[in-house]
Amino acid sequence: MSTLEQVCNDVGLAQLPQVIAKQILWAEWQASQQPLFTRVLENKPETEVSLHLLGLLTKSHIELMASFASHIESITQMKKAIGESVGGEHVNKFKTSHIDELVLITHAWMYIQGHLSMDFSLANDHAQQTANLLTKLSTKDTQQLRSEFLKSFYAGKPQSSTSENSSLWDKIKRLFSH
């Protein structure tokens, strides 16, 4: 039976720059999701494991978006209080794990959507929604953040279609190498 970490590695998620940058957070997510992943694999063994991974990342993204949205007011108030008490230059030093988790899972979710050659317009819509929510607490531009998420979508694409997009020369070399 596959582990979540193994499946993530097999589809190339371990090489995604955002995953590399947040390895501890990524490992924590994998560990927390492994029991559910195991149950899903047992209940639906005929389904491709990368589709289970998509489902798990979709679930995590929905939960994180809801959690982030419910905490945005308190986070905004905290940043305001910091700005008023110790000065505006210290506001951006305030960090919350909600932001890091949501950004990481969004990048991974976009990647697996690209890997599975899913519809770009749907991925774009979700990237836009996530960017809109995150920029309420960030100095980043919404379109810049959306574009960063979509880079992960495109990073997943070559992983799933390398054999389909091989050049004629590559196909000829493979034919004679056997």
Structure confidence by residue, pLDDT tens digits, 89-135: 655 655 666 789 999 999 999 999 999 999 999 999 999 999 999 98
Q: Is the pLDDT of residue 164 over 50?
A: no
- Global pTM value: 0.80
Structure confidence by residue, pLDDT tens digits, 44-87: 999 999 999 999 999 999 999 998 888 777 777 776 776 677 76
Contact 98, 75 (CB under 8 A): yes
Contact 149, 130 (CB under 8 A): yes
Per DSSP, the residues of 81-147 read HHHHHH-GGGGGG---HHHHHHHHHHHHHHHHHHHTT--HHHHHHHHHHHHHHHTTS-SS-HHHHHH
At residue 159, the pLDDT reads 46
Confidence of residue 178 (pLDDT cuts 50, 70, 90): very low
